[in-house]
Amino acid sequence: MSAVTIHPFLRLSGLEPLVLRPLTNFVNVGERTNVTGSKKFARLIRENQYEEALSVARQQVENGAQILDVNMDDALLDGEKAMQTYLNLLQSEPDIAKIPIMIDSSKFSIIEAGLKCVQGKCIVNSISLKEGEEKFIDQAIICKSYGAAVIVMAFDEAGQADTVRRKVDISHRAYKILTEQVGYDPQDIIFDLNIFAIATGIEEHNNYAVDFIEAIKEVKKLMPLTRISGGVSNISFSFRGNEPVREAMHSVFLYYAIKAGMDMGIVNAGQLVVYDEIEPQLRQLCEEVILNQNPDATDKLLAFAETVKAKGKTEVKDEAWRRGTVEERLKHALVNGITEYIDSDTEEARLKYPRPLDVIEGPLMAGMDVVGDLFGSGKMFLPQVVKSARVMKKSVAVLTPFIELEKEERKKAAGSDAVESSSAAKILLATVKGDVHDIGKNIVGVVLGCNGYDIIDLGVMVPADKILETAKREKVSIIGLSGLITPSLDEMVHVAREMKRQDFEVPLLIGGATTSRMHTAVKIAPEFEKGVVHVLDASRSVTVAGSLLSAEQKPEFLRGIKEEYKKLKEDFANKKTVKQYLPFGGAQENKVKIDWAGFKPVTPSFIGTKTFDGYDLADIARYIDWGPFFITWELHGKFPAILQDATVGVEATRLFNDANALLKQIVDEKWLKPRAVIGFWPANSDGKDSITVEHDNGPVRLEFLRQQIKKAANQPNISLSDFVAPQTTGKKDHLGAFIVSIEGIEPHLKRFEAAHDDYNKIMLQALADRMAEAFTELLHERVRKEFWGYAKDEHLDNDKLIREEYLGIRPAPGYPACPDHTEKLKLFAMLDATKQTGTILTESLAMYPASSVSGWYFANPESKYFGVGKIEKDQVIDYASRKGMPLEEVEKWLRPVLEYDV
């Protein structure tokens, strides 16, 4: 009996097998069952019309798709649920389910949800080295366990590969990991070498297609059994709206890519034109652009594109427009990208208008409005917008000297700089953390820059703290966020929330391929009240920026936006409940009832302070509470149950493994230095809301706030002062205080930043915070059992410590039980904290190092954690009087807990 030879081919299947042999033609992956690639499909999914959405898949199969790409990455969808629902329905349709499925998502949790639903052998699209090798390996193991082939993006810790060398190097690195460590067969590995848009009007993009094609050849030589795929429609993104040109570009690109070794691609199977049937001139122009054969290729294709879209109507050069008004001529020049007459026309307009700035805010802005409308409706393409911006730049250059001269004259007349100039406004642009796509942002920068704005472009993968720090430092007038992948939307919400927390006044612009007006209205705008505006297209940013920076236009513009967004989010609006509050005197009378007669205070083992300069990191790590760590990464659930969670369990496990690997390195190599100081002193309350501490340097009076909301019968209105024996009892009680910090993080953060490793940078910051809290927990345990010794027989494991099953509490100034940060000044003085630990307070009373914790120690067995909640003005007046501070200053610090408007 002869042996059977099984050749190493990529073998996929739905109900029917699909084997990719050496002579297999190019495999079409249908793209229309993708919420980001088909408006119709996205609408059907959002409206829960899943049955009708199956018709989109059926049409793709009928049009020749051999694999079906399914993507549910939409910010307003429950991606996991949508993926499972659709795939389960699809599997019951034999005429669709016969072909293999490509499960496509930028969120691995959605991919895993899909893997649980498909039959046969599918493809996962995609995994990458973006977040490091450990996460890559973990995801690959899961894909392999489901028997799936896997697409690997040419994407590593430093970002997406855009050169031949980077594409090949990243792919080879991933290949070695998958084959040598995970056990993948080479034929089950598919590389996506990143197809980027060309003919955008930006020179750096011109060679992207050539780089992709050359990379295919090298990857095939180096790893011959692997396959090559890519999103073909990306190549023609700059010509969206002109389908004849896009189809021609796709066919020409595939002609050369397939010859180089490309095996499959995500395309609209029903809209591929035969290469030989492309109109010869269009085919030649597409080849020149795709192969980057001459510097004028984009301009030539752009000019021809207009004739194709007009179905043969040739544009005749006509100088009749020169007979129009100067406003009409400027608009025509902007729309058509004509610079030939712009100097003279601008000078004519300058002489006509009272001020040179009026030319920018008048006819030039009106022209850009037209450009924005045309671009937004698909009647204008990216290269044209760039040309329009260049016209604008030339015009502004003519006007700038006159604007500066006018500014100087007004300075002399007014004695100060009284001129408001659009050219002086700074606009910060950034692609948010985790995202490397920036073409839209670049175009926005070009357009706004040519309108005289000072553009600060922070680039890609920018974390929220850097965006806001730079915005403050540079005193920007607008912040603009961009993102393409769906997770970027979550990061935009975070930035808006941080802008509110940090009291930003500048408006926020939202843009990018996956952003939408609806998501902005529902998710982002509610987080920041000072103005959030979704910008549909790059050129529209000019109009929006102009409206936001005009003192006359801004109020009405924002009113209109807020009304529009209010209507969009009305289904999400929360109804505010009506609460009742006690007069402050009544709240004080309803304090915690403690049997002080039977109370026996425990005297600490020492009075004064004790410092800890360095501590074993391994000992501290045992006290880590992992719950808040996952919240930092926006994964919600209790630890360790979150690791098994049906929705986020896989991601949580990967994150946990990554964190522990880094934590081991931190501990083994002693990256961080823990420092702390604790102290105990005799103390008594006044029976109300003040505690007097007998400090070595004299008495210190601490002030606390009290719950004021009306409670149910027998429920007290609590203040921390209730837990210290009143002076009238004649019993000497005590109060403790502490400050803990983790030093030494900065050089490691800089090293990660230099390596473009945001993942580990954020991981390190999160772990440092957790270590600070863990050190706090460790010291609190020693306080209870040793230093104060009021619970010497305590035996609690870490879970019980996390559940706070111990006696006594350690509330922190600025947090719910004592929300006034200014009391932190007294705490620092009592502990001589800066001298003892190096920890300092900023102007806003934040602690530095950032991974620091401070608070009070209360030993009373009746003490418990609580939140003061909202308070009324009568208590605030009393509190300000006790502190000897102006009411206005107290209200500023207590604003988050005030029940009334200041």
What are the catalytic residues? 435, 437, 488
Q: Which of 308, 166, 315, 337 is nearest to 249 (CA)?
A: 308
Answer whether 277's CB lies under 8 Å from 264's CB: no
Q: What is the DSSP letter of 436?
A: -
Nearest-angstrom CA–CA distance, 724 and 101:
66
The 3-state DSSP class for residue 470 equals helix
Give the integer Cα–Cα distance in Å for 860 and 308.
83
Give the DSSP letter string of 71-130: E---TTS-HHHHHHHHHHHHHT-HHHHTS-EEEE-SSHHHHHHHHTT--SB-EEEEE-ST
Distance CA 315, CA 312 (A): 9
Closest Cα to residue 787, out of 609, 579, 563, 531?
A: 609
Phi, psi for 766 (deg, rounded to 5):
-65, -40
The answer to whether the beta carbons of residues 721 and 689 sit under 8 Å apart is yes
> Would you put residue 723 in left (φ > 0), alpha (ψ -120 to 50) or beta?
alpha
φ and ψ of 750, to 5 deg = -60, -35
> How far is Cα 299 from Cα 347, in angstroms, rounded to an integer?
28
Torsion, CA 690, CA 694, CA 699, CA 704, rounded to 10: -20
Amino acid occupying residue 363: P
Which H or E run includes 826? Answer: helix 823-831
- Give the phi and the psi of residue 295 in degrees, each rounded to 5: -65, -15
- Cα 207 from chain centroid? 30
- What is d(CA 115, CA 101) in angstroms, rounded to the nearest whole number? 10
Q: How many CA atoms lie within 13 A of 840 on its CB side?
A: 3
- 698-703/189-192 β-pairing: unpaired
Which tokens in the block code for residue 472?
Answer: 């403050």
Q: Are 847 and 839 in contact, with CB atoms under 8 Å apart?
A: yes
The Cα–Cα gap between 460 and 437 comes to 7
Alpha-helical regions (H) of 105-242: 108-115, 133-145, 164-177, 208-222
CA distances (Å), 73 to each of 37, 106, 128, 262, 515, in order? 10, 7, 17, 26, 11
Cβ atoms of 156 and 130 within 8 Å: the answer is yes
d(CA 329, CA 710): 69
Q: Are strands 508-511 and 478-482 parallel, antiparallel or unpaired?
A: parallel
Give the strand pairing for 27-30 and 264-267.
Answer: parallel
Please name which of 147, 115, 118, 143 lies closest in space to residue 128, comparing C-alpha atoms: 143
Q: 103: alpha, beta or left, given left = phi > 0 and alpha = psi -120 to 50? A: beta
CA dist 370 → 322, 539, 543 (Å):
18, 9, 10
Q: Residue 409: enclosing H or E segment and its boundaries?
A: helix 382-414
What is the C-alpha to C-alpha distance for residues 211 and 823, in angstroms, rounded to an integer?
Answer: 61
Q: Which residues are CB-neighbours of 541 under 8 A, at least 6 positions away?
A: 444, 447, 448, 480, 509, 511, 535
569's tokens? 């989010």
Q: CB 281: neighbour CB atoms within 10 A?
A: 12
How far apart CA 792 and CA 604 sit, in angstroms, is 12
Residue 746 CA, distance from chain mean position = 23
